[in-house]
Amino acid sequence: MTEELPGLDLDRLRAHVEREVPGLVSGELSGTRITGGKSNLTYVVTDGVGSWVVRRPPLGHVLATAHDMSREYKVMTALRDTAVPVPRTYLLCEDTEVLGAPFFVMEHVAGTPYRTAAEFSALGPDGVRGVARSLITTLGDLHAVDPADVGLSDFGRPEGFLERQVRRWSKQLDASRSREIAGIDELHKKLGATIPESGEAAIVHGDYRLDNVLIAEDGSLTAVLDWEMATLGDPLVDLGLMLVYKEQPVIDDAATPATSVEGFPDSAELVEMYATTTGRDVSRLGWYVAFGCFKLAVIAEGIHYRYSQGLTVGAGFDTIGQIVPLLVDRAHTMLKEDQD
C-alpha cells in the first residue's frame, strides 16, 4: 500500500509518463517520499520492476527562481557524459496541469546520502576521509568542465555574477520577511561593498554538500544531486558554501553535522585539497564563506516562513528558524577576517 504522497498523483504521473516515454513504465505505480531535504519534494516511484525518482517544487510559498525544475533537468542532462556523476534524465514536464507544478523524472541511482554523524561515522576514519577526497575531486571535475563543450554556454552570465548573487539573495530575503533579523541588512551591504574579483567562470552547482551526493558502499561517489540552483559563475561560491555546511550551527545535538566525524578533514585542509586539485586562487575565501552564510540564512528563513504558514511537508522544520541569526553572526566574523 502506497503512503500518502502530498504533491504527487501517481495515476496522473503514470498516464503522463506512458504518453511521453512509452515503455518506461510497465504497470501501476507505488511510491515513497525521500525525507531529509528541506527544499524540493523528492519521491521514489516503482512499477514493481524498475524504479525512478520524481522531483517537484515544495508546496505553498515558493521563492522566485529558487525551485527551477528545467534548470536541474538541463544541467544533469548536459553533464551525462562528463566525469561528474549524475543520474540519467528521462522526462521534464512544465505543464502544471499534470501534478500541480513542474516536475521531472530521473534515474534512481544506488547510494547513500549521509545526513547524520552516526550514519557517516560507521564508515570509519579512513572511509570518511576517502569520501571527503571524492567530494573535492568531483567538485574540481565539475569546475573543470567547459560549459560550451556540454551545451551550457548560455546557462548563465558569468560577468557580474557575484554582484547579481548578492542582490538576488537580498530580494529573496525580502520575499520571506516575517520578523526582524539583527545584522542581516548590514551583512548584505558589507557583502556588496567587498566583492572579490572572480577567476575563470565555471558551472556552479549552487548547493554542494555531503548530503547532496550519493555514496556507494566502497566510498565512491555515485551521483551529484539537487542542481536546482546551478548556473555559470564563480566556482568558489560552491567551496564557500560547502565550508558553511562543514561548520553549520547546531541547534539540536541530534543534528550534529555528518562532516564533524573523525576522519573528515578540517576546513583548512579541504581548502588546500581544492586549491591543489584546481589551481584556483583561494586567498579571499572568507568572503565566499560569508556569502554562503548569507545565502543559507535566506534559504532557511524562506523555509521558516513556509513552516510558519503550515506549508511544509514532513518533520524537522520547527527549529530551522533558529539557525538564521547564527549564520548571520558567522558571516560578519568571516568578513572581518577577510578584511583584516
**DSSP 8-state secondary structure symbol assigned to residue 198:** P
Q: What is residue 319's predicted lDDT score, i.e. its pLDDT? A: 78
Distances (CA, A) of 8 to 15, 88, 199: 13, 21, 42
Q: In this predicted model, what pLDDT tens digit does every residue of 7-42 receive, in sequence order?
A: 899 999 999 999 999 999 999 999 999 876 556 889
Average pLDDT of the chain to the nearest whole number: 91
**Ramachandran area for residue 36 (φ above 0: left; ψ -120 to 50: alpha; else beta):** left
Helix (H) or strand (E) holding 298: helix 285-308
Average pLDDT in the 163-190 region?
Answer: 94
Residue 42 · residue 51 · CB < 8 Å: no
CB atoms within 10 A of CB 155: 19
Q: Which of 78-82, 112-116, 247-251, 305-309 has the highest mean pLDDT?
A: 78-82
Q: What is the pLDDT of residues 269-298, one digit of tens each?
A: 999 999 999 999 999 999 999 999 999 999
SS3 43: strand
Average pLDDT estimate for 161-182: 93
Task: At 191, list the grid cell.
Answer: 557583502
Displacement of CA 123 from its chain's centroid (Å): 23
Per-residue model confidence (pLDDT) at position 24: 97
How large a percentage of the chain has pLDDT more than 70?
92
C-alpha cell at 312: 511544509
| pLDDT band per the 50, 70, 90 thresholds, residue 246 | very high
Please report the pLDDT score of residue 292 as a whole number.
Answer: 97
pLDDT for 36: 64
Each residue's pLDDT tens digit, 37-96? 556 889 999 999 999 999 998 876 444 444 578 999 999 999 999 999 999 999 999 999
- In whole angstroms, what is the distance from residue 155 CA to residue 230 CA? 9
Alpha carbon distance 71, 192 (integer Å): 26
Q: pLDDT tens across 314-323, in order?
A: 666 777 889 9
Tens digit of each residue's pLDDT (9 = 90 or more) over 92-148: 999 999 999 999 999 999 999 998 899 999 999 999 999 999 999 999 999 999 999
Check residue 99 and give its pLDDT.
92
Q: In whole angstroms, give the CA distance from residue 134 to residue 145.
A: 17
Paired strand residues for 105? 54, 91
Supply the pLDDT for residue 59: 77
DSSP states along 270-295: HHHHHHHHH----TTHHHHHHHHHHH
